[in-house]
Structure 1
Amino acid sequence: MKNILCTTIGVTGSLTASLFGGWDTSIATLILFMAIDFFSGLAVAGVFHSSTKTETGALESKAGWKGLCRKSMTLFFVLIAHRLDLSIGTTYIRDTVVIGFMANELISIVENAGLMGIPLPAVLTKAIDILNQKSVPMK
């Protein structure tokens, strides 16, 4: 039974990794940033009650599900970018998409740190404000 379980997990993991262009440092970093962002968001809402995603600032399952859906969509974009690379014989579209989403996750992590009361350098908060003003508002 143990061998069947290990084989199933290994085959599933290999197929999933190949769909995203392989398991490399960039995809591992993106997933790490996504996990840190998600759990820091949980801490902001659950411990500090200062979430901007809910009216009360506290944990709300609907907001959590929205976050997970957004993260899933991020991974779908990586998958699409990899398929585009394969279609036109390039290797840079996936990398560009992954780097863009890593930057977005990093900004969100920094925002969560600020909501937790961690002092942030003024230049960093100003840069985040500028990026937020230029971005498309999320509902």
Structure 2
Amino acid sequence: MEKINLVKTELLYIAGIIGSAIAHSLGGWDKALATLALFMAVDYVTGFILAIVFKKSPKTESGGASSKVGFKGLCKKGVMLLIVLVAHGLDSVVGSDFIRDGVIIAFIVNETLSIIENAGQMGLDPPSVLVRGVEILKSKNEEE
């Protein structure tokens, strides 16, 4: 039992180091990045539910799930994080946070729209406060 706890501790230590390095390279784990990560996860899950439960995915002919489509979705989200990485690098050169924050806000708006689309295809109408929130984020992003 003691050996299992030691292995578990070592794995958590390694995961912590890797997670910290990734968060640092993306400009730090702040509210914006945490929100983007949350919205990316919610978008992926709602897309998965749309395909598995409702069989209404617009990304496959049958409307059902496809491992290829799911992998493409994960790749897109990975590229989104790479773009945040690039934006943070540009901010480091310029000495600001505007580029990274603008990119993250744009991706949050994109993910929100996708979540709303998924919910709509499930038969749910988005609350007007959510639609208004997306409009505010869009205008904030355009200002930056």
1:68 aligns with 2:63: no
TM-score, with length taken from structure 2: 0.81
5 Å-filtered alignment, 1:1-139, equals 1=6, 2-120=8-126
Identity rate, percent: 48
Alpha-carbon distance, 1:4 to partner: 2.5
- Measure the CA separation in 1 of the matches of 2:101 and 2:127: 29
CA RMSD across the alignment: 1.9
Residue segments in structure 1 that go unaligned for 5+ positions in a row? 128-139
- Measure the CA separation in 1 of the matches of 2:65 and 2:40: 18
Residue segments in structure 2 that go unaligned for 5+ positions in a row? 1-5, 135-144
- Measure the CA separation in 1 of the matches of 2:87 and 2:76: 16
Q: Please identify runs of 4+ aligned residues in structure 1 that moved more than 2 A.
A: 1-7, 119-122
Going from structure 1 to structure 2, the CA distance change for 1:54 and 1:88 (only over 3 Å counts) comes to same
